[in-house]
Structure 1
Amino acid sequence: MAGGQAAGRRPIPIVGLWRALGLTLASAVVWGVAHVAAGRRAVGFTLMAVLALLVAGSATLVLAFQDTMKQLVVQNTWLNVIIAAILALAVTWAAIVIWSYQVVRPPGLPAAMRVASTTLVVVLSVLICTPFVYAANTTYVLRDTLSKIFPGDDHTGPKIDAADPWKNMPRFNVLLMGGDGGKDRKGIRTDSMTVASIDTKTGNTVLISLPRNLQYFQMPARLRSIWPNGYRPVNATLGYDGMLNSVYLSGEKNPSLVPGFKQGQRGSHLLEEVIGNLIGMKINYYVLVNLDGFKDIVNAMGGVKVHIEKALPIGGEMVNGHYTKPPTGWLHAGTQHLNGEKALWYGRSRDADDDFHRMDRQKCLMKDIADQADPQKVVTHFEKLAKAATNTIYTNLPSTLLPPLIKLSGTVKGGSDITSLAFNPWKMQGFDPVSPNVALMRQLTTKSIADSENPHKPSPSPTTTVKKHKKKVKTGVTASPTASSGSGGSVSLKNVCG
């Protein structure tokens, strides 16, 4: 009798369960496999066709419309659409996996097996959703980062035409500043000041560097009642040492100098105005980089490879050519892969040479970082990079300019000429940082822009007057006419960086 009962029992469908789980796993890779196996061919092939269209469409967008996609992913509206689409795809994919299991699940499973198999399918669905959730979160971080960095106080800039953003802007001029300080920007000295002037049609770019120790220079007309004899400290309120790198501080500490702007914007706008007056150019926007946070960006990128011409000290203090405090280390000559801390010292060190060599190194460092930005590293370290950028970069660039700037940057990286104009007394006849000839600075800037716009037809060099006396400059070196090596025109950045 016992044997008869055993013979009458229904066998546990182990083989059928493993087959169902296998088909469910296959359906997680190729939609519709389980449905076709279950005889629901119409539904199964429809699911396969939908998946094929999704894959082909995504590949087409990535490969054929890269430039367009790059412009879309810096716009909040499209980022919201992308986030919603990613999450919808995740839910759809998980639902199809669960549906596939229900179609092929064998009947009559004992309760324990039914619970175990259902749990496995749910876990599989969660695993499938994980990369989509990560992608959606990364997109959200990108949107949040862009919103924080590019709020834009652009009411002083030219009016932007969305259909033709460069209509009223044949050249895009942006002041790039590097300074120390925390997020509240108190106490910042802008030791790095470069104007990037970009032709919005060709992408040809001129990088114009101004020395931090520029002194007694002519101020814009509206400020000459305060500084009638050139920029210098009038009192403890209006500045520190009277050099160009303290103009930012003067603006931040004195709202009356830059009316209409709030704390954190005044210094940058004042420096825009002052530098624009010196080189005879309207500066449209500014970007301020906190150099202490800059190292976090480099680290998030996995470091940067640079060519170092000679050994540079890390840390230490030098007075009159002698170390009063020895360096804590050295950057050795040759091609080196630098982490964030060492890259910062490569751009800041000046004890081994002077401010003017440092200006060249800073341009080369910017070029190296731009050239070596690896998309894979950017994606894998995106959250660290986004956090570092949010705490490091401050700008008044409006978010509406980001899409055309992305397009323009592709032109610049695609082979456009990048030239460098550095106001260096050793290489520029008639230029003295202690008492700069503003007319000469404007002439050389105009010439460099003209040469950039017509690279095959260089304009004639402006007439320069060489001063016959020697002046002691702030770096401890002596400017001399014999040190000049040319008229001071712009040169290719490739030549500057060797």
Structure 2
Amino acid sequence: MAGKERDFGTGESVGLTIGSALLWGVAHIATGRQRTGFALMTVYLVLVAVIVTLATAFRGQLLSLAVRPSWLMALTIAIAAIAVIWSVVILWSFWLVRPAASGRNPAAATAGLLCLMIIAPSAWATRLAYVSHDVVSSVFSATTSTPVVSMDPWSGATRLNILLVGADAAANRIGVRTDSMTVASIDTVTGRTTLFGLPRNLEQAPMPKGPARDRFPYGFTGEGPRTPGLLNEVYQYAENHPEVVPGVRSGHRGPTLLKETISGILGIPVDYYAMVDMAGFAEIIDAMGGVKVTIREPITYGRHSEGVLPAGTRRLSGEDALWYGRSRTNSDDYVRMGRQKCLLNAVAQQADPVTLLNSFERLAGATKRAISTDFPQDLLPALMDLGQKVKRTHIRSVQFVPPLISTAYPDWDLIRETVADALKDRPKVAKPASATPSSTPNAGDAISLDDVCG
């Protein structure tokens, strides 16, 4: 029996339409369609129960699925389908309980508003799922060279070593220079992380076996008289000389040779790399709404000392954060390396889910432009789980800088011994009373970034 036949008033029609939006089937039962009404209620309650269960009991698994392209596409379709079905139920309910002609406008407006309240957030969620799919598919490798074991994604490895590269392709230089090189060594069980920082000006870096070592048997010396042969030139040299990394396509030769070179320097395997364009890094920080750091001493920046970052705890914009991590005015490469570690630590600690969600599309766009990596998509869920463990620990840092290491005549054996000591089960963590990112750490000590950065 239609609402018109039952002679529903405007208030009743509005109430039943709202009730049907909150619990499917209310309007159908009110108009005598018991079987249809209870069927809709059952479907609705099952759907709500599934969503609540997934959001509570399986929250961790949901976060992992959120970085799987196939699941993201399925989520996009599911959200859109639910929004359409919900809107159809609302309009169907209104039609059944529509009042006399004189009262239809308010009731119809209510039904339309309810549909909008369902469609708008669903469209937003669908958009986020689509953007996530796009970012994961664009940035991360679709395949992995080794099979992923579901029970142990790291295939028995006790540590995951990722090379973090800050690249600077300035207008006044040819190609890309990897001015910031840090290996994050992460315990796959506890999440305890040690950062190993290598200065850009390390000379005569030993090359991996093969064509690269054949060309540079006594260490990397660069292109010739016009280049000093520093570690930060290895990436671009490989891109310019395919023969030293045979069988690797353009864009991947640089990361491949740099990973192998740094692996040999540190004496540990480098599993994957992630390279961030420095200008793009500033975009990411702006999308986060800035990053809060403690500046111990004023930092002068700019090619002509045109600016100063005052001392104190403050929130830096992307541009200011870039200068914080890059400036060498009145300091040196090693001081800058310390500040870069503090900046990485601050970004990692402050990238909370609410911040990321509020600026998701801006972050997604900046990430696509700024980051390149060979990390495979099928390991992303495990990496997210590991990332949560890392955030609950204190990140430590070892920098291979003077006086521990001479950049002109590095002691490669000492570097490897220091790395091995730092990665022991219970490494001794130095906590100097006046440690700051503007001071050179004690030789060989693993310094807690929380102590150093404030």
TM-score (norm 2): 0.88
2:25 counterpart of 1:32: yes
Question: Which residue of 1 is the match for residue 410 of structure 2?
Answer: 436
Among candidates 200, 205, 213, match of residue 193 of structure 2: 205
Task: Give the match for residue 306 of structure 1.
Answer: 293
Paired residue for 1:445? Answer: 419
1:121/1:485 CA distance change after superposition, 3 Å: closer
Q: 1:168, CA displacement in angstroms?
A: 4.1
Task: Return the offset for 1:342.
Answer: 0.8
Closer/same/farther in 2, CA of residues 33 and 245 from structure 1, 3 Å limit: same
Residue matched to 1:82: 75
Q: For residues 440 and 95 of structure 2, what CA distance do their matches in structure 1 show? A: 83
Would you say 1:366 and 2:338 are equivalent positions? Answer: no
Q: Which of 212, 232, 235 is the matching residue for 1:245?
A: 232
Larger Rg: 1
Q: Is the contact between residue 152 and residue 396 of structure 1 (CA under 8 Å) also seen in structure 2?
A: no
Give yes or no for contact 1:301–1:374 (8 Å, CA) kept in 2: no
Q: Indicate how the Cα distance of structure 1 residues 60 and 160 shifts in structure 2: closer, same or farther if over 3 A, else same.
A: closer
Shift of 1:153: 6.9
Find the counterpart in structure 2 of residue 179 from structure 1: 167
Structure 2 counterpart SS, 1:347: helix
Tell me by how many angstroms 1:240 deviates: 2.9
Counterpart of 2:220 (choices 231, 234, 242) is: 231
Displacement after TM superposition at 1:400 (Å): 1.0
2:443 equivalent to 1:454: no
- Paired residue secondary structure (1:391): helix
SS at match of 1:233: coil
Question: How many pairs does the alignment contain?
Answer: 438
2:163–2:181 contact (8 Å) kept in structure 1:
yes
- Matches of 1:43 and 1:133, distance apart in 2: 28
In 2, are the aligned partners of 1:190 and 1:246 still within 8 Å (CA)?
A: yes
Q: Which of 255, 268, 274 is the aligned partner of 2:255?
A: 268
Change beyond 3 A, Cα 1:240–1:391: same
Q: Mapping of 1:483-498 within 5 angstroms?
A: 486-498=442-454
- Shift, 1:32, TM fit: 3.3
Change in 2 beyond 3 A, CA 1:333/1:14: farther
Q: Report the identity percentage.
A: 41
CA distance in 1, matches of 2:174, 2:41: 60
Deviations 1:467-489 (A, max 9, x none): xxxxxxxxxxxxxxxx9874413
Matched, 1:424 2:398: no
Matched letter for residue 263 of structure 2: G
Q: What one-letter code is carried by the residue in structure 1 that aligns with 2:408?
A: V
Q: For 2:22 and 2:358, how far apart are their aligned partners in 1?
A: 24
| Alpha-carbon distance in structure 1 between the residues aligned to 2:344 and 2:262 | 20
> Contact 1:20/1:101 (CA < 8 Å) preserved in 2?
yes
Aligned AA (1:311): P
Pair 1:215 & 2:203 matched: yes
The Cα shift of 1:418 comes to 2.5
Give the SS at the match of 1:433.
coil
Partner-residue secondary structure (3-state), 1:225: helix
State the match for 2:280 in structure 1: 293
Distance in 2 (CA, whole Å) between partners of 1:41 and 1:256 is 76
1:71 alignment partner, SS class: helix
Partner secondary structure for residue 351 of structure 2:
coil
Q: 1:279 to 1:221 in 2, by over 3 A?
A: same
State the shift of 1:22 in Å.
Answer: 3.6
- What's the C-alpha RMSD, in Å, of the aligned pairs? 2.8
Q: Secondary structure at the match of 1:81?
A: helix
* Aligned AA (2:390): V
Q: CA deviation at 1:356?
A: 1.2
Q: Indicate how the Cα distance of structure 1 residues 230 and 164 shifts in structure 2: closer, same or farther if over 3 A, else same.
A: same
Residue 209 of structure 1 contacts residue 423 of structure 1 at CA under 8 Å; is this kept in 2? yes
- Say yes or no: does 1:259 pair with 2:246: yes
Classify the secondary structure of the residue corresponding to 1:224: helix
CA distance in 2, matches of 1:65, 1:116: 41
- The runs of 5 or more residues in structure 1 that have no matched partner are 1-12, 317-324, 460-482
Match of 2:386 in 1: 408
For residues 21 and 454 of structure 1, the distance between their equivalents in structure 2, rounded to whole angstroms, comes to 67
Partners in 2 of 1:75 and 1:44 — Cα distance? 37
Q: Distance in 2 between matches of 1:231 and 1:285?
A: 22
Cα 1:138/1:306, change in 2 over 3 Å: same
Q: Please, which runs of 5 or more residues in structure 2 have no aligned partner?
A: 1-5, 430-438
Residues in 2 aligned to 1:352 and 1:59: alpha-carbon distance in whole angstroms: 56
What is the SS of the residue equivalent to 1:351?
coil
Q: Which amino acid aligns with 1:206?
A: T
Q: Taking structure 1 as the reference length, what is the TM-score of the superposition?
A: 0.81
Shift of 1:49: 4.9
Q: Which residue of 2 aligns with 1:320?
A: none
Describe the superposition over 1:417-439 as per-residue Cα deviations: whole angstroms up to 9, x where unpaired.
4221111214x2xx201110111
Distance of aligned partners of 1:361 and 1:484 in 2 relative to their CA distance in 1, 3 Å threshold:
closer
